[in-house]
Structure 1
Amino acid sequence: MIRVLTLDEHDQILAGGPELATAGGTRWIDIQDQTPEEIAWLGATFGFHPLALEDCLHLNQRAKFEDYPSAVFLVIHTLAVGAGPSDLTLRELHAFLTGEVLVTVHATALPEVERVWERAAADPELLARKPDVLLYHLCDEVVDAQFPVIEQLRESIDGLEDEVLTGRHERTVLQRIFAAREALVQLRRALSPERDVLLQLSKGADKRVAERTSLYFRDVHDHALRHAEAVDQAREALKDVLAAYHSAAANRTSEIVKRLTLFSAIFLPLTFVTGFFGMNFAHLPFGNDGFLLAALLSMLVLPAGMVVWFWLSRWI
């Protein structure tokens, strides 16, 4: 689906389809759920490089910045949260920037794009500016939307740490730890190269990004740096949580083995007494009531005395 925003000669906002793509002035062309025919139309209309057009049809692209003669081409990622903070989905946003046109391409509806689109559709002054300003607002919206996702994930890691340290964790805690680690890997894979993309935009080296706009891109780049640092800190915290979990598991195992050993030691005298007096001999030694009473008393006193001794020694 192709939609276009532009202004007429009276600075009135026009919204429509491909028929407005070649109108004069600043234009924003947004393509959702792109098809090969629509991407071929982009190439025929604006002369974008075939390699960039090919990237728009093949997802799983790395965040990147490419400076072609016809346009600046970049790929960034938005984040979608599923059932929990660790259930993350990365969605690609492709963008072409020329002196008069901003083209965005994405496979699914992106809330960040919709918010900026609605803002531009209601503000002729914003649309009257150059496309690099629209691109700035779009990148700023994408980066700002990443913060609550990272914060939720960090809070979930703190919750895992509390569960592990207090011993109140469930059997699924290890699965949740590895799910959080996988989410952090995805975040790092997306945010690390995204910093380089925003750095290129903040430098203002390309004439299609005005020097004034590059100053605003510096602020977006600074936010992206903070997000990347937060992800690295969360990875370190998750490593500590995993180490604490293994330590707690080892302590529980040692405690179980200790108790089993104590129980074995307690029952060892009973085993000896019952084994000695329960042998199937024709003539049992000490065959009188006195020795029988002594045997019964020893079976009661010895285990009780060992329990008291273990308790005084703080073994139980």
Structure 2
Amino acid sequence: MTHPDNPLHALLLDGVGGARDLSGAQIQDWTPEQGILWLHLDYTDPSAQHWLMHDSALPELITEALLTENTRPRAAQIGDGLLIALRGVNLNPGADPDDMVSVRLYVTPKLIVSTRKRRLQSVTGLAEDCRAGKAPRDVAEFLVDLSDRLVMRMGDVVEETEETLAALELDILEQHDTTLRQSLAGLRRQTIRLRRYFGPQRDAFNQLQSEKLTWISAEQKLLLREVSDRLLRHIEDLDMIRERAAMAQEELISQLSDQLNQRMYILSLIAAIFLPLGFLTGLLGINVGGIPGADNPYAFGLFAIFLCILVAAQIWLFRRRRWL
């Protein structure tokens, strides 16, 4: 086979836990008897695109799937191979975890071709372990290992999200800040986006278990089932987090509404107190003749005392009616 230019990883797995990097010439001279070949490519690289479409000898259906921009997690058997699309949480610096990173794989008993656009730590960690002498012994173990790494990092993100929600719930009890609404809304948005991909990914794992392929043993299918069950628990945790976030957001809105009502109530009482005062002062302030007490030097003082008595009477009335 010809070799792709600039592969991200080009590893030969020896089947006993070892792996080594291959050069372009070594890839071209590779035969299945030598071991399992894993080629990991960036599908946005023009040289990788050219190799997949013209030089890889892969069927057109597979090359299109490996080069597609948008894909949902799935698994499909094609001959004696598997076409798989999986997603992992985005743990790259400065990225949002819910901005899921996809990886596409075509797997046969002796060949693994995977493509991605953005760096995925699960794939990078697996390649590093292969170079460190902890490589999978066959392609089925490779799939189990990769799936386990993806779900493990999903679990870390779910736990972090749950801790963030717990801190926000505590903040709601201790303070009433409108910025908490934005934090809760962002948390709900993150859980919805994560849940959107976790569900189909579990379906893909279940499909892997159901495929009748001779190179996936019953024990490895049990391991895939365990990975799928762990992902199901993460999905259930996300559903619980989303419900808790909704309840916390409703509680915060209720508290903010109570605060607003309390302030409006106080303003209404103040307006009720000053309404008669304003009416009387406005009435006596008109610039026409005949105003009572205009010639009396004690009129202003008596009027001020009357206003104070009026305010005291209003406060007494409000307290009697339990408005204060």
Counterpart in the other structure of 1:33: 42
Q: What code does the residue aligned with 2:39 have?
A: D
| Contact in 2 for aligned 1:102/1:135 (Cα 8 Å) | no
Q: What code does the residue aligned with 1:4 have?
A: A
Provide the C-alpha distance between the structure 2 equivalents of 1:70 and 1:213, rounded to a whole number of angstroms: 17
1:265 Cα deviation after fit = 0.8
1:79 Cα deviation after fit = 1.0
Counterpart in the other structure of 2:78: 68
- State percent identity of aligned pairs: 24
Counterpart in the other structure of 1:209: 216
* Range moving further from structure 2, 172-181 or 4-13: 4-13
1:17 to 23, 45, 49: 23
Counterpart in the other structure of 1:143: 151
Q: Runs of 5+ in structure 1 lacking a partner?
A: none
CA distances 1:138-185 after superposition (whole Å, capped 9, x unpaired): 11011101111112222222333333343332x433333332232222
1:244 to 251, 266, 273: 251
* Range moving further from structure 2, 81-90 or 227-236: 81-90
Counterpart in the other structure of 2:230: 223
Task: Please state if 1:160 is matched with 2:168.
Answer: yes
| Contact in 2 for aligned 1:32/1:105 (Cα 8 Å) | yes
1:273-284 superposed matches below 5 A: 273-284=280-291
Provide the C-alpha distance between the structure 2 equivalents of 1:86 and 1:121, rounded to a whole number of angstroms: 29
Q: Secondary structure at the match of 1:24?
A: helix
CA distances 1:10-55 after superposition (whole Å, capped 9, x unpaired): 9964321342343525424132323354355356676544223212
CA distances 1:252-284 after superposition (whole Å, capped 9, x unpaired): 221222111101011123123323433434222
In structure 2, relative to structure 1, the CA distance for the partners of 1:275 and 1:289 (3 Å cut) is: same
In structure 2, relative to structure 1, the CA distance for the partners of 1:102 and 1:9 (3 Å cut) is: closer
Counterpart in the other structure of 1:266: 273
Q: Secondary structure at the match of 1:284?
A: coil
Provide the C-alpha distance between the structure 1 equivalents of 2:49 and 2:107, rounded to a whole number of angstroms: 15
Provide the C-alpha distance between the structure 1 equivalents of 2:70 and 2:121, rounded to a whole number of angstroms: 20
| Contact in 2 for aligned 1:77/1:92 (Cα 8 Å) | yes
In structure 2, relative to structure 1, the CA distance for the partners of 1:137 and 1:83 (3 Å cut) is: closer
* Number of residue pairs the alignment of both structures matches: 313
| Contact in 2 for aligned 1:188/1:228 (Cα 8 Å) | yes
TM-score after normalising by structure 1: 0.85
Provide the C-alpha distance between the structure 2 equivalents of 1:286 and 1:150, rounded to a whole number of angstroms: 78
1:73 Cα deviation after fit = 0.9
Over the aligned positions, Cα root-mean-square deviation in angstroms equals 3.0
Provide the C-alpha distance between the structure 1 equivalents of 2:226 and 2:282, rounded to a whole number of angstroms: 82
Counterpart in the other structure of 2:3: none
In structure 2, relative to structure 1, the CA distance for the partners of 1:314 and 1:22 (3 Å cut) is: farther
1:109 Cα deviation after fit = 2.7
Task: Please state if 1:57 is matched with 2:63.
Answer: no
Q: Secondary structure at the match of 1:88?
A: coil
Provide the C-alpha distance between the structure 1 equivalents of 2:49 and 2:95, rounded to a whole number of angstroms: 34
In structure 2, relative to structure 1, the CA distance for the partners of 1:83 and 1:118 (3 Å cut) is: closer
CA distances 1:230-272 after superposition (whole Å, capped 9, x unpaired): 1111111222122223322322221222111101011123123
In structure 2, relative to structure 1, the CA distance for the partners of 1:40 and 1:68 (3 Å cut) is: farther
| Contact in 2 for aligned 1:81/1:88 (Cα 8 Å) | no
Task: Please state if 1:304 is matched with 2:309.
Answer: no
Q: What code does the residue aligned with 2:75 have?
A: F
